[in-house]
Amino acid sequence: MAAGYTPVDLNNRFITSPDPRALVRRAEEMGLPRTLCAWIKGIYAWALEHPEVETIVAVTQGDCSNTHGLMELLQEAGRRVIAFDYPHGRRPEPLCAALEELARQLGTDLHAAEAVRRRLADLRRDLARLDQMTWRDGLVSGRENHLWLVGASDFEGDAQDYHRRLKDFLDQAAGRRPRRPGLRLGLLGVPPIIDDLHQALEEMGAAVVYNEVPRQFAMLPADSPDQDLVDQYHRYTYPYDVFWRLQDISRQVRRRNIHGLVHYTQAFCFRQMQDLVMRRHLKVPLLTIEGDRVAPVDGRTQTRLEAFLELLQQHHPLAGPAGPGRIEPTSH
């Protein structure tokens, strides 16, 4: 933004496109294997259809093990690709150097980027309020929380407009009847490609009060007011090791009084391996589910979710189902 570009999150554009299933099919018709994550295929097909996205920042360390291959395909398609690495070990000095280099390649510097970061502070504070209205006040649904927080990765291309719509949404949500407390869930892992997971859980009587990775994508304000851009990217848990993520998850589980966790994993994703560590370290019941294609919750996953919620209900009989003060999801 400091360099005058419009940020475009390719994941979001793919999944909110009119027919994301068709994009995955198209990538397979072009030759990408069935055994490759559907997000990568969707992003590739979407990017090919949108040549106006001229420059692509490829996170070659800290995001996805498939990025190198995707980067080569997009380079071959004529795009300018800039690699960005989150430093292994989460050390601030190489992170600062990586941010400086990214700024340089885009034709700006960290001073200008810091000024933009400060301009976005109010917007991030409002996103933090939205998050609080989800877990503390029961006024925002887990699905709405997810949509707003993942949207914050690029502010849907226009931060001012995004903020205006967010404020309208918060005013409207403040007037709602609060949800009755029920089973409280956290959703861990990459954003689910299953398109109705939050609604399915709501219909089963559970409230998603924590969307782990979307909350990270939104980079909500830290408690300390004197942080800068490097601190912000240093605090971010998603690109670093699973142990750093676990600290954040454990803190949020306690803070939000979470009864159980659902760990969403994506078929053919290297992050599935982190599930083992999560199971060993997290102190609340955890169910792991897997998604592959853009599709609604399938029968098998539905049954496993129901059985998990039944188990949680036995441990927390006073929680009861989260309704009928259930919050109707609205799209933004």
Q: What gap in Å lies between CA 179 and CA 205, rounded to an integer?
A: 11
The binder of ligand SF4 chosen from 14, 39, 162, 233 (CB under 6 A)? 39
What residues from 81 to 110 belong to the interface with ligand SF4 (CB under 6 A)? none
> Which region, judged by CB under 6 A, interacts with ligand SF4, from 32-40, 91-99, 197-205, 307-315?
32-40
The binder of ligand SF4 chosen from 23, 40, 139, 208 (CB under 6 A)? 40
Q: CA angle, corner 303, sides to 203 and 258, nearest 5?
A: 60
Q: Which is nearer to ligand SF4, 267 or 282 (CB)?
A: 267
Q: CA angle, corner 146, sides to 142 and 150, nearest 5?
A: 170
Task: Take residue 200 and report the two structure tokens written for it.
Answer: 């399915």
User: What minimum distance in Å lies between the beta carbon of 130 and ligand SF4?
Assistant: 24
Type of residue numbered 324:
P
Comparing CA positions, the residue from 54, 214, 59, 87 lying closest to residue 143 is 214
User: What minimum distance in Å lies between the beta carbon of 269 and ligand SF4?
Assistant: 3
The binder of ligand SF4 chosen from 27, 37, 81, 219 (CB under 6 A)? 37
Mask of contacts with ligand SF4, 173-202, x by CB under 6 A?
-----------------x------------
Mask of contacts with ligand SF4, 266-285, x by CB under 6 A?
x--x-x--------------
User: What minimum distance in Å lies between the beta carbon of 96 and ligand SF4?
Assistant: 25
User: What minimum distance in Å lies between the beta carbon of 207 and ligand SF4?
Assistant: 25
Interaction of residue 64 with ligand SF4, rule CB under 6 A: yes
Say how many residues touch ligand SF4, by CB under 6 A: 9
Q: CA angle, corner 223, sides to 98 and 62, nearest 5?
A: 30
**Which residue's entry shows tokens 């919750």?**
297
CB atoms within 10 A of CB 280: 8
Greatest Cα pair distance, the chain, in angstroms, is 59
CB atoms within 10 A of CB 80: 11
Q: What gap in Å lies between CA 245 and CA 191, rounded to an integer?
A: 15
The binder of ligand SF4 chosen from 12, 60, 66, 237 (CB under 6 A)? 66
User: What minimum distance in Å lies between the beta carbon of 65 and ligand SF4?
Assistant: 7
User: What minimum distance in Å lies between the beta carbon of 121 and ligand SF4?
Assistant: 29
Q: Which is nearer to ligand SF4, 26 or 271 (CB)?
A: 271
Ranges of H-type helices in 182-298: 197-203, 212-217, 229-235, 242-255, 274-281
Backbone angles phi, psi at 161, to 5 degrees: -65, -40
> Which region, judged by CB under 6 A, interacts with ligand SF4, from 16-24, 82-90, 264-272, 275-283?
264-272
Q: How many residues does the chain have?
A: 332
Q: Which is nearer to ligand SF4, 68 or 315 (CB)?
A: 68
Residues 6+ apart with CB under 8 A from 303: none
User: What minimum distance in Å lies between the beta carbon of 82 and ligand SF4?
Assistant: 18
CA torsion 191-192-196-197 (nearest 10°) is -100
Site of interaction with ligand SF4 (CB under 6 A): 37, 39-40, 64, 66, 190, 266, 269, 271
